[in-house]
Amino acid sequence: MRIEMDFKHLKTIEDLKQFVKGSKRMILKAVTIEEKYDVIQSLIDTFHYVHLTRREKHTVLRVLKLFTGYKHSQLGRLIDAAMCGTLCRKEYVRTNLYHKYTGADIQLLEKTDEVHYRLSAEATHEILRREYVIFHHEQYENVSHVSVSHVKNLRQRDEYKAKNLEHTHARIVPIGETRKPEPNGLPGSIRIDTVHQRDVYYLNVVDEVTQWEVIVVVPFISEYYMRPALEFILDAYPFVVFNFHSDRGSEFVNQVVADILNMLLIKQTKSRSRHCNDQALVEGKNGSIIRKNFGFGHISKGFMKDMNTFLRKWFIIYLNCHRPCGYVTGIRTDYKGRVHNVYGQYTTPYEKLKEISKAHDTYHTGILLKEDVSFEELDKVAYAMSDNEYARIMRDKQYALFDIINSLKSL
């Protein structure tokens, strides 16, 4: 439908004001560009726009905005063109069909990117320049003058994209599954992380449900030391481990770890990107257990065996049998709608293991434990001393060990 506007009944600016006021709830926009241009030209000629005052011109602009939908700045340019002559739509005609850089030049760029694995535009520009200026290769004469920004433009040309150029791809490691572990309320889903202390590294491993924790010291983060450390960790847990969860570090995501876990039928999972809660439990233990008890001081690799002996004989038993942990018993929502965990139970990981085992084991046979482990044997270790008595002896052993470590540092 073509709009035919007749402004003969609108003879004054006051008539235009009344027209705008009465058309506030109406949609009177023209459809095509030609129709919009006809409205602008007709209104400018009818009211002799060039001779109007500033207020009157504002009223005319309001009418034009109502019909065309153009913004103020765009209407200003079109009104200037209408006052200079007849306003009409110009057909776009490309006048410059010449390409300075031909297909041969793009092929030279392709070859350069292929052998250099597609460097940045700045580095590629310098290589093209050197090929002609320094090494006197005449075929690079034209493309050597290309600007840095135009190198990016040439890489978007169809001639360039037609050639199969391999870019750097993310390396996909087919080890482990990227997802959140699902323990289903049972012990055996462990989470592992590393904590460095100058020359040694702690492997901190925590069970998600019971918070049973095992710590091992290694001198290097490598596959060579991971095998014996991982074997000790899996053997130190009194229950069967069925899931091994870590971050995406190469010390855990490698073939050595995968072979050990596959042999024991343990599922391996990796943390998801942008999901920090996947490792929140073990990360919290890194600070509240390792850093709080062992600090940040230097420990030489020569004391690795002494540290592991202390951890195995004293500290791991203290953590799991004499140090209470907080357990989530519910959630609450604050006035802003944020969800918070409620830690309503505090007990040791060993007591938590017995509680879960009792809930899942009607006949009290210890089905959650390994075949060679029983609660009777674990009770002898857990209840041999009180919490304070054991902690006092454990601290004496720790201070004696660190006195030797610190004394040798001062030599």
pLDDT in tens, 175-203: 778 888 888 888 999 999 999 888 899 99
CA dist., res. 184 & res. 243, Å (int)? 11
| The pLDDT of residue 27 is above 80 | no
| The pLDDT of residue 2 is above 60 | no
| The pLDDT of residue 11 is above 70 | no
CA dist., res. 48 & res. 83, Å (int)? 9
Please tell me the predicted confidence (pLDDT) of residue 164.
52
pLDDT grade for 312, boundaries at 50, 70 and 90: very high
Q: Are 218 and 204 in contact (CB under 8 A)?
A: no
Superfamily assignment of 180-411 in CATH?
Ribonuclease H-like superfamily/Ribonuclease H (3.30.420.10)
CA dist., res. 70 & res. 377, Å (int)? 86
Q: What is the mean pLDDT of residues 30-47?
A: 80
User: How does the average pLDDT of the chain come out, rounded?
Assistant: 84
Query: b/e map of 145-158 (b: 16 or more CB within 10 Å)?
Result: ebeeeebeebbeee
Percent of the chain with pLDDT over 90: 34
Look up residue 200 and give its amino acid: V
pLDDT grade for 89, boundaries at 50, 70 and 90: confident
- Please give the model's pTM, rounded to 2 decimal places: 0.59
| The pLDDT of residue 408 is above 80 | no
Please tell me the predicted confidence (pLDDT) of residue 215.
94
CA dist., res. 241 & res. 297, Å (int)? 33
Please tell me the predicted confidence (pLDDT) of residue 399.
93
| The pLDDT of residue 214 is above 90 | yes
pLDDT grade for 171, boundaries at 50, 70 and 90: low
Q: What is the mean pLDDT of residues 130-159?
A: 90
| The pLDDT of residue 358 is above 90 | no
Q: Where are the domains of the chain?
A: 13-84, 103-161, 180-411
Please tell me the predicted confidence (pLDDT) of residue 363.
44
CA dist., res. 44 & res. 329, Å (int)? 76
Please tell me the predicted confidence (pLDDT) of residue 31.
67
pLDDT grade for 1, boundaries at 50, 70 and 90: very low
Please tell me the predicted confidence (pLDDT) of residue 371.
87
CA dist., res. 88 & res. 32, Å (int)? 12
54-68 and 72-84 helices, crossing angle to 10°: 110
Q: What is the mean pLDDT of residues 254-281?
A: 84
Of residues 297 and 95, the one with the higher pLDDT is 297
Helix (H, G, I), strand (E, B) or coil at 356: helix
CA dist., res. 334 & res. 337, Å (int)? 5
Q: Which range is least confidently modeled, 61-65, 268-272, 365-369? A: 365-369
| The pLDDT of residue 210 is above 80 | yes
Look up residue 380 and give its amino acid: K
Q: What is the mean pLDDT of residues 336-346?
A: 88
CA dist., res. 242 & res. 182, Å (int)? 10
For the segment 102-116, what is each residue's pLDDT rounded down to a tens digit?
888 988 999 898 888
Query: b/e map of 371-384 (b: 16 or more CB within 10 Å)?
Result: eeeebeebeeebee
CA dist., res. 351 & res. 131, Å (int)? 75
Of residues 168 and 57, the one with the higher pLDDT is 57
Q: Tokens for 277?
A: 């809660």
Please tell me the predicted confidence (pLDDT) of residue 23.
61
| The pLDDT of residue 234 is above 70 | yes
> C-alpha distances in angstroms, 385 versus 122, 354, 389?
71, 18, 6
CA dist., res. 329 & res. 343, Å (int)? 6
pLDDT grade for 36, boundaries at 50, 70 and 90: confident
Of residues 120 and 28, the one with the higher pLDDT is 120
Q: Are 36 and 70 in contact (CB under 8 A)?
A: yes
| The pLDDT of residue 20 is above 80 | no
Please tell me the predicted confidence (pLDDT) of residue 103.
85
Report the Cα 177 to chain-centroid distance in Å. Answer: 17
| The pLDDT of residue 3 is above 60 | no
